[in-house]
């Protein structure tokens, strides 16, 4: 008996029109029925099964058509862009060192002017770096679109092959073994055609599996495509904020020179008049990213608890939880049913069941316009899958079991734990904290947000540190 090799790829599958398979169409019976019969009901059943399989297995898949993209950058262009970005990041780091140096030199008008000049230059460099990151991301989005289109074409080809195979099997099912045997007086021909039929059935299974795998791959690529578009949008928003900050810093410098008229004594008096008191800091309202308000003093107490357990300084924890560090986006307005991925929905229901609260009594972050899932919960903005990773550790620290993502103490500790894992525990430099903040926001895509979200958090942390120093003086 001839040995047939199972195909590994759909391109290996052929219907062999006019050859062995064509002859087999009139001879082979897939069901191996021993009685010759052709029934209308049988044909209808087969048609129904094939139609149902088509709907359930293949579904409806189409490539995104909402945006067209330019040709992908060449490797040389990509390398040049990355080299420019690296150079800009080095320059930003140098000006950051200057800022720190001026801050350590004490409060004087000259130092303050030098400090503001360094900040202005640094902000302009960050704007340029963000522009390059957006350009790089646009190229990657274009690549992702090409991958999606390629997978879509593979699905179309596999569908065509599947239609052909299903048609061949249906035709073969109309001939029983007895009729086949009578048309093949030689036993070798009879068994050879039966073997060909087995290969065809194997081809059918292979093609169905390939289409299923391609669908999974396509959905993953679409999600990556949506996430990349969302990142590009966020970077553009940050760039707008950076430009505003640069303009404000210039105005601050000009106003300072106007008020003091270049005189150190007037600068010192201005510094004394504008310095916030401990009482003002304590009563200041602190708004959480996930909704709700605390006084700054209350927020600081929660941050100290989290800091003692994780090694991340309180100012850093406060900066991440601060609403402005995330561009002031209002979150927590959607139902879990419309915002979360199926996997996270199941975990969410487990979380709220353990907390004995209704799943509809709290809201979560919404998905974005490009289809990236939302579902982040509470002040720390953890999705259920991430919360489950830290839940037990949080409960051990706070003594609340089960821990709740909507409880302030639990949320602050969870933020500290995540930042510690991201590299902010006992950090000795702003660079470590900046990287940890970017990881907190973007996970594996942290490098895109090092000088946007990461820098915004570190800058805010320094302001909070000044307030904390005033409180603890």
Confidence of residue 179 (pLDDT cuts 50, 70, 90): low
Q: What are 12's two structure tokens? A: 């290996």
| pLDDT of 464 higher than 90 | yes
Q: Which residues contact 297 (CB under 8 A, 6 or more apart)?
A: 281, 282, 283, 471
Residue 336 has pLDDT above 80, yes or no: yes
Inform me whether the pLDDT recorded for 19 exceeds 60.
Answer: no
Which has the minimum average pLDDT: 42-51, 85-94, 272-281? 42-51
Tell me: pLDDT of 264 over 60.
yes
Give me the pLDDT at residue 393, please.
Answer: 97
pLDDT at 66: 33
129 vs 209, more confident: 129
Q: How far is the C-alpha of 169 from the C-alpha of 47, rounded, in Å? A: 11
Label residue 102 exposed, middle or buried (CB < 10 Å: 0-12, 13-18, 19+). Answer: buried
Binned at pLDDT 50, 70 and 90, residue 196 comes out as low
Map out the domains of the chain as residue ranges.
10-65+149-229, 276-473
Rounded to 5 degrees, φ, ψ at 335 are -80, 145
DSSP-based three-state secondary structure for 356: coil
Task: Choose the weakest-confidence range: 269-278, 319-328, 387-396.
Answer: 319-328
Task: Mean pLDDT check: name the lowest of 94-108, 127-141, 411-425.
Answer: 94-108
Range name among 267-271, 373-377, 410-414, 452-456 with the lowest pLDDT average: 267-271
pTM (global) more than 0.85: no
Query: Would the pLDDT of 96 be above 60?
Result: yes
Nearest CA among 219, 411, 192, 200 for reference residue 299: 411
Question: pLDDT value at position 324?
Answer: 58
Confidence of residue 59 (pLDDT cuts 50, 70, 90): very low
398-455 pLDDT, tens digit each: 999 999 999 999 999 999 999 999 999 999 988 899 999 999 988 888 988 888 889 8
Query: How sure is the predictor about 82, in pLDDT bands with cuts at 50, 70 and 90?
Result: confident
Q: What is the pLDDT of residue 169?
A: 67
Residue 109, CA atoms < 13 Å, CB-side half-sphere: 17
Q: What is the pLDDT of residue 182?
A: 53
pLDDT at 130 over 50: yes
What pLDDT digit, counting tens, does each position of 143-167 carry?
888 888 888 888 888 778 777 777 7
* pLDDT attached to residue 197: 61
Give 268-274's long-range contacts (Cβ < 8 A, gap of 24+).
268/107, 271/107
pLDDT, greater one: 291 or 174 = 291
pLDDT of residue 151: 83
Specify the pLDDT at position 326: 58
pLDDT at res. 278: 87
pLDDT value at residue 469: 92
Q: What is the mean pLDDT of residues 328-351?
A: 86
pLDDT in tens, 386-395: 999 999 999 9
At 327, the pLDDT band (50, 70, 90 cuts) reads: low
Per-residue pLDDT at 351 exceeds 90? yes
Q: Which value, to the nearest 10 degrees, does the dihedral of the CA atoms of residues 125, 128, 133, 138 take? A: 170
Higher-confidence residue of 273 and 384: namely 384
The region of weakest confidence among 55-59, 158-162, 351-355 is 55-59
Region 195-210 average pLDDT: 71
CA 225, 228, 232 angle in degrees (round to 5)? Answer: 140
């Amino acid at each position: 008996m001839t040995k047939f090799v199972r195909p590994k790829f759909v391109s290996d599958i052929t219907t062999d029109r006019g050859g062995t398979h064509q002859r087999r169409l009139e001879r082979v019976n897939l069901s191996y029925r021993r009685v010759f019969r052709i029934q209308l009901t049988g044909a209808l059943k087969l048609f129904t099964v094939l139609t149902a399989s088509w709907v359930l297995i293949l579904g409806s898949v189409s490539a995104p058509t909402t945006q067209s993209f330019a040709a992908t950058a060449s490797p040389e262009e990509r390398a040049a862009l990355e080299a420019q970005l690296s150079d800009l990041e080095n320059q930003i780091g140098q000006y950051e060192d200057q800022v720190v140096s001026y801050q350590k030199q004490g409060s004087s008008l000259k130092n303050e002017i030098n400090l503001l000049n360094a900040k202005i230059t640094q902000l302009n460099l960050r704007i340029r770096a963000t522009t390059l990151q957006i350009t790089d991301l646009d190229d990657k989005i274009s690549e992702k679109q090409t991958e999606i289109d390629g997978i879509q074409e593979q699905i179309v080809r596999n569908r065509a092959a599947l239609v052909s195979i299903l048609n061949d099997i249906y035709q073969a099912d109309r001939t029983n073994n007895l009729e086949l045997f009578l048309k093949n007086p030689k036993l070798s021909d009879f068994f050879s055609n039966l073997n060909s039929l087995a290969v065809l059935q194997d081809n059918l299974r292979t093609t169905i599996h390939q289409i299923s795998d391609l669908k999974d791959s396509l959905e993953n690529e679409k999600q990556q495509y949506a996430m990349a578009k969302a990142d590009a949008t966020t970077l553009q928003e940050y760039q707008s904020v950076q430009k505003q900050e640069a303009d404000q810093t210039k105005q601050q410098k000009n106003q300072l020179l106007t008020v003091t008229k270049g005189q150190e004594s007037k600068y010192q008096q201005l510094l004394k008049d504008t310095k916030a008191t401990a009482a003002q800091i304590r009563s200041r309202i602190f708004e959480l990213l996930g909704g709700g308000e605390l006084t700054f003093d209350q927020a600081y107490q929660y941050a100290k608890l989290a800091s003692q357990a994780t090694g991340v300084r309180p100012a850093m924890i406060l900066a991440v939880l601060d609403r402005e560090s995330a561009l002031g986006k209002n979150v927590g307005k959607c139902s879990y049913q419309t915002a979360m991925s199926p996997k996270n929905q199941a975990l969410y229901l487990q979380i709220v069941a353990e907390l004995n609260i209704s799943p509809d009594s709290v809201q979560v972050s919404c998905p974005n316009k490009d289809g990236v899932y939302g579902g982040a919960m509470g002040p720390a903005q953890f999705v259920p899958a991430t919360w489950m990773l830290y839940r037990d550790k949080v409960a051990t620290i706070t003594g609340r079991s089960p821990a709740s993502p909507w409880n302030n103490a639990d949320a602050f500790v969870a933020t500290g734990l995540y930042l510690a894992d991201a590299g902010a525990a006992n950090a000795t430099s702003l660079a470590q904290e900046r990287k940890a903040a970017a990881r907190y926001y973007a996970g594996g895509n942290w490098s895109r947000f090092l000088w946007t979200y990461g820098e915004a958090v570190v800058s805010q942390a320094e302001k909070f540190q000044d307030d904390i120093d005033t409180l603890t003086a």
